[in-house]
C-alpha cells in the first residue's frame, strides 16, 4: 500500500484506485507498521486505535486541457494496532476514499489490510483486499520469510518471490527512522517490502528536518507525546530516477503520526489525525 495501475481500461480506476494504493502503502510504512520495531524500541512504542480524515490538498499547478483531474477527495482511515505480548505486532486497517473527478464522476475505493509481523522482523503474514465500488479488484494472502534472502509465498499459488538480502520489513525500516529522528543525519535510504504491492519492493529516501509541531491536546491521550517531527519521504521503484510519489509526515518518537501529505504529479492528498486511543494488552497469562 502503487507503481502499478490496475489492469483495466476504466479511466476512473486508473485515476483513483492507483493513488489510493499508494496512500495505503506509504501509510503502512511509516505509521502503522512502524510500531513493529524490535524489543529494544518497544518500550516507547504503543498499542493504539486511530482514525484519520482524508481530504484533497492544495496544489498550485496549471491544468492541461482535455486531461482528467481529481476535484474532490474525502474519506477516512481506521487503524487497530496490538502488541502481541512482545512476540509480534498485529494490525487491522480499513480505508474508505471517495474521489470525484473534473467531469463530476465519482468512485469509492475500500482497502482492508491485516498483518502479523514477528517482533524480530524475520517473518510476516499479510492479507490485502481492495474493492472498487463494492467490487473486489484484488485479494492477496502472503507469507514473507527473511533468511539469507527475503522470500515471499502466496496462498493457492506456486509463485515464490525472492528479493536481495538488504530488503527489510517495515518494522526495521521505522526502527531506523526513529533512531535517526533526532540524530545529526539529514537522510537515510532503505529498501523495504511490506506486501501491498506483492511483487515489488520500494527504495525509500527519508529526509529529516528540524521542524516540529503539536496538535490540539484534546486529540492526544495521556501517554502520547505531543511533539511531532516533520520528515519527507520519496518512494522509488524499478531503479527509475523519478519518485513514484512523495510524502510529508509529522511523526513522534512513539511511531504515531498526526499528519500526512501525499504529493502526486497532478494532485495531493492530506490525512489529519481525528482521534487516537491507547489499547494496552494484558500479557500476565503468557508468563
Look up the pTM and report it.
0.80
With respect to residue 143, please indicate whether it lies within any of the assigned structural domains: yes
pLDDT value, residue 171: 77
With respect to residue 207, please indicate whether it lies within any of the assigned structural domains: yes
pLDDT value, residue 92: 87
For residue 198, the enclosing domain spans 11-61+70-281
Give, in order, the Cα–Cα distances in Å from 287 to each of 196, 236, 279, 282, 284.
Answer: 35, 44, 20, 11, 6
With respect to residue 264, please indicate whether it lies within any of the assigned structural domains: yes
Sign of CA dihedral 221, 271, 230, 196: positive
Give CA–CA dist 233/262, Å, rounded.
10
User: Are the beta carbons of 106 and 121 closer than 8 angstroms?
Assistant: no
Return per-residue pLDDT of the chain as tens, 287 residues: 332 222 222 333 333 444 555 455 555 444 444 444 434 434 466 788 899 999 999 877 778 888 889 999 999 999 887 777 878 878 888 999 999 999 999 999 999 989 888 888 889 999 999 999 999 999 999 999 988 899 999 998 899 999 998 998 877 888 899 899 999 999 999 999 888 888 999 999 999 999 999 999 999 999 899 999 999 999 999 989 999 999 999 999 888 889 999 898 888 999 999 999 988 777 776 65
With respect to residue 24, please indicate whether it lies within any of the assigned structural domains: yes
pLDDT value, residue 20: 53
Give how many domains the chain has, as a whole number. 1
pLDDT value, residue 110: 94
- Within 13 Å, how many C-alpha atoms sit on residue 50's CB side? 25
- Within 13 Å, how many C-alpha atoms sit on residue 18's CB side? 19
pLDDT value, residue 33: 45
**Which of these, 157, 93, 83, lies nearest to 126 by C-alpha position?**
93
List the Cα angle 256/121/207 in 5-degree steps: 45
With respect to residue 3, please indicate whether it lies within any of the assigned structural domains: no
pLDDT value, residue 232: 97
With respect to residue 2, please indicate whether it lies within any of the assigned structural domains: no
H-run or E-run covering 215: none
Give CA–CA dist 110/133, Å, rounded.
8
H-run or E-run covering 54: strand 48-57
With respect to residue 4, please indicate whether it lies within any of the assigned structural domains: no
* C-alpha cell belonging to residue 272: 489529519
Amino acid at each position: 500500500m502503487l507503481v502499478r495501475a490496475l489492469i483495466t481500461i476504466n479511466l476512473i480506476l486508473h485515476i483513483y484506485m492507483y493513488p489510493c494504493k499508494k496512500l495505503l502503502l506509504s501509510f503502512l510504512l511509516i505509521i502503522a507498521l512502524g510500531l513493529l520495531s524490535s524489543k529494544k524500541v518497544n518500550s516507547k512504542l504503543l498499542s493504539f486505535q486511530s482514525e484519520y480524515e482524508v481530504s484533497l490538498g492544495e496544489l498550485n499547478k496549471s491544468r492541461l486541457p482535455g486531461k482528467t483531474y481529481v476535484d474532490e477527495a474525502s474519506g477516512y482511515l481506521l487503524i487497530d494496532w496490538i502488541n502481541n505480548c512482545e512476540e509480534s505486532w498485529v494490525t487491522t486497517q480499513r480505508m474508505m476514499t471517495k474521489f470525484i473527478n473534473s467531469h463530476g464522476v465519482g468512485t469509492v475505493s475500500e482497502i482492508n489490510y491485516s498483518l502479523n509481523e514477528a517482533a524480530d522482523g524475520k517473518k510476516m503474514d499479510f492479507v490485502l483486499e481492495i474493492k472498487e465500488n463494492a467490487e473486489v479488484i484484488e485479494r492477496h494472502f502472503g507469507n514473507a520469510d527473511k533468511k539469507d534472502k527475503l522470500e515471499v509465498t502466496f496462498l493457492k499459488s506456486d509463485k515464490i518471490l525472492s528479493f536481495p538480502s538488504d530488503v527489510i520489513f517495515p518494522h526495521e525500516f521505522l526502527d531506523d527512522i526513529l533512531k535517526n529522528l533526532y540524530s545529526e543525519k539529514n537522510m537515510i535510504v532503505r529498501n523495504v517490502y511490506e506486501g501491498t504491492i506483492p511483487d515489488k519492493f520500494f527504495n525509500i529516501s527519508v529526509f529529516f528536518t528540524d521542524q516540529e509541531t503539536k496538535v490540539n491536546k484534546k486529540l492526544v491521550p495521556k501517554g502520547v507525546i505531543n511533539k511531532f517531527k516533520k520528515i519527507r519521504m520519496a518512494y522509488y521503484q524499478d531503479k527509475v530516477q523519478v519518485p513514484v510519489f512523495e510524502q510529508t509526515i509529522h511523526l513522534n518518537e512513539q511511531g504515531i503520526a498526526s499528519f500526512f501529505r501525499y504529493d502526486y504529479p497532478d494532485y495531493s492528498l492530506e490525512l489529519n489525525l481525528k482521534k487516537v486511543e491507547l489499547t494496552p494488552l494484558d500479557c500476565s497469562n503468557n508468563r
